[in-house]
Structure 1
């Protein structure tokens, strides 16, 4: 009976640990398993929106601290995106299909990332040209907004 009770307690503690452990996207060199064990290793917000050409931070990348109406070198090429902006005013990134903040849009909330836009299946949902299209390889500009 003692062994069963000890085993049940250990399983309960293990399950609660897994269910309540914070999940983080540790965009640095910290392995994913370490991020769950040591969430303090997640980089602090630095005010930038990051974008990579390929999933999981692969290929060429761009980053912006302010709004950008023409992604130029990254326009229509992004498959991984991360909003590491500061919390508070202007914390969410509104991603537009076209340049100069035109067309349909989606929002990426502060602290969120989508490491594989192609697999994620996210689509532009705001009104305008491109509504319903996949976001992967189709972003042209962005604005920082207070809330989406």
Structure 2
């Protein structure tokens, strides 16, 4: 009789396990009450123009204000292609829309002529607010650890970040 009880008990456990494995998951009330549409999106997510071979620097955050666009490097942001004014030490957002492949990344520099501290903007990256980013400690004291916001004077395409 003991053997029958053990067999029946194991059968019940097995049936319960099978039943639980095929029953769909039940959502918790907290999952149903959340509004997922209001979740923040990463500020540096690669959203923006599709790859077109250009690097963009915008005067204001979130691609606001006037902007400069380049297909090559620029050692001095005092002037921009197609504009009468430059954007030296005035950029507040950046977009790298370079083509994937060799020299797809862009190094931005604290000083003109590609000098001082630098920061690499990877291919496809969009930096919406440069107040959130800093140059690395790599400029020998010139711009080290300074915010990128309103502190970029030149850029050059790079093969890697």
TM-score range, shorter chain: 0.7 to 0.9
- The Cα of 1:6 is off from its aligned counterpart by 7.0
Where does the alignment leave 5 or more consecutive residues of structure 1 unmatched? 12-22, 28-42
1:46 matches 2:52 = yes
2:148 equivalent among 131, 135, 140: 135
Q: CA RMSD in A?
A: 3.2
**Residue matched to 1:92:** 105
Bigger Rg over Cα: 2
Q: How does 1:1-148 map to 2 (within 5 A)?
A: 5=24, 8=27, 25-27=46-48, 43-72=49-78, 73-118=86-131, 120=132, 122-125=133-136, 126-128=138-140, 129-148=142-161
Higher deviation after alignment, 78-87 or 43-52: 43-52
SS at match of 2:62: coil
- Residue by residue over 1:45-77, the C-alpha shift from the partner in whole angstroms, topping out at 9 and shown as x without a partner, is 001000110001111110111010001101100
TM-score (normalised: structure 2): 0.67
Cα distance in structure 1, aligned partners of 2:121 and 2:46: 14
- The Cα of 1:145 is off from its aligned counterpart by 0.6
Cα distance in structure 2, aligned partners of 1:70 and 1:107: 17
Higher deviation after alignment, 138-147 or 126-135: 126-135
TM-score (normalised: structure 1): 0.72
Cα distance in structure 1, aligned partners of 2:124 and 2:156: 16
- The Cα of 1:117 is off from its aligned counterpart by 0.9
Cα distance in structure 2, aligned partners of 1:24 and 1:96: 22
